[in-house]
Chains A and B, each alone.
Chain A
Amino acid sequence: MTDEDDALTALGTLGDPVRRGLYRFVAAAPAEVGRDAAAEAVGISRALAAFHLDKLVEAGLLEVAFRRLSGRTGPGAGRPAKVYRRAGREHAVSMPPRSYDTAAGLLAETVEQAGLDHALQSAARARGAAQAPQGDPVAALRARGYEPCPDGEDETVTRLRNCPFHALAQEFPALVCGMNLALIEGLLAAGASASPESRGWSAEMSPGPDGCCVALRRIAPGDL
């Protein structure tokens, strides 16, 4: 199979609304998901959920691990349960064929070599401002694929579980992460001046082991 066939097979699996619901639930979950939780989330039986989850694994959209969900370990803790998480592999297909990633990589390499970080950040800030949301900036970032979720420790912090520029950010981290921060800062700043409910957020570079390198911080009303 060609890469395109692969991608189409994977994405075709999501044509079924039940599978799509399961995929979205697993992808959005902060940790691996068991069959029971997945079944409950989309309102189907455990057996049906197991069937569809395994189809998603076959398609390369989800990955499987085995974990003892009870938290017990050692003899008597029971058989480890099958749990699911989103697969790391990217699937993209374009009809007719387009190769924006090739263009993006070439442009990034040129910008990097020319040392145009500052110009890129200015452009990103302006673009973010031009796309400023009317309303909740967290919802706006969710709509852009950042997958915001609460930080486990700091309740004023919202982390972004997905990096929309992942492959490019891996190759040109300083450049692309700086661009991404400026983009989000522009969006937050313009949003805050456009609508009151957008106020009270700041963006900061705060990379974790994976996901987006930027985190949002809720500023206490007194600090505004």
Chain B
Amino acid sequence: MDPLGTRSRPLRERLPLPLFAALAAVLPLLLSNEYYITVLIFMGINVLLVVGLNLLMGYTGQISLGHAAFFACGAYGSGILNVRLGWSPWVCMPVSLLFTGVLAYLIGKPILKLKGNYLAMATLGFGLIVEHMAVEWGDLTGGPSGLSGVERLTVGDWRFYTPGIRYAYLVWAGVFLCIVLAQNLVGSRIGRALRAIHGSEVAAGTLGVDTARLKLQVFVLSAVLASLGGALYVHYLGFIAPASCGFVYSIHLVTMVVVGGMATIWGSVVGACILTLLPQVLTFLEDYDILVYGVILILMMLFMPEGVVRGVLAAFRHAGAKVSGLGGAGPRAADGG
């Protein structure tokens, strides 16, 4: 966390962003296979969602077990407008984002009054309702087998989706922007207020923080980010099915937040990347990957509840302290980056 502005931030905190930008710029070029590019694209989309969810869960402390519903709103929203009304994807996308934002506002207003377990169940219920609607309202959504024939993104003759590398750059440019904005947010007055809400909502209120309004704003922001991911997804694949945006995906997203680390932007990136790659690595397990997710969740909460990023950094610091002969120094102040 740095209250003073970029000027005096230590090198350690300023390094990740340029490194990330370099990596994101170079990696697509190194991947030969269209399949790997597709995985890279999905990874980017997951990062978008996880950063948004972390802002809500990690920073503000509001648990959401139905976040995939907003992804679905973006994907289905944009897809349906395109397939049923024939609008251009460039119009469908912003409209579906707006729609999701409004929906999130309407849903968020009443349910963000709830705390802890109750909020979890309300978001879970909402997510399942959306999933069920996607399955049942077949005339609109294409039913269980999904919606296909969605147009891909083009500008005139220039196609964004083939070769896939163009889409990868589009998505990761969006991810880069998202990370920068999220970091700005977290280090700002609003970011502090959000974390204060997590720390003690009542105390924050007595200091002048309009907690209800901020929670709602963050909720809507994370929903819109999720729907952006959904829209990007559907206009790449040309297709969306309820199975890809239901309860299972909501749990995946929560797992990514937990694994990467709550209340850390880079943690979200790392968590999303690891858990997008994991199923690829575990394909031999087929359906049992869900078993692995369960084990991961349990083990993370038992042994590394602060997430991979902080856990690894702490391990390095520990090792460093041992090597230089110092005792175990106290933990550094919580960083928001």
Do the two shown chains form a genuine complex with each other?
A: no
**B residues at A contact (CB < 8 Å):** none
**A residues at B contact (CB < 8 Å):** none
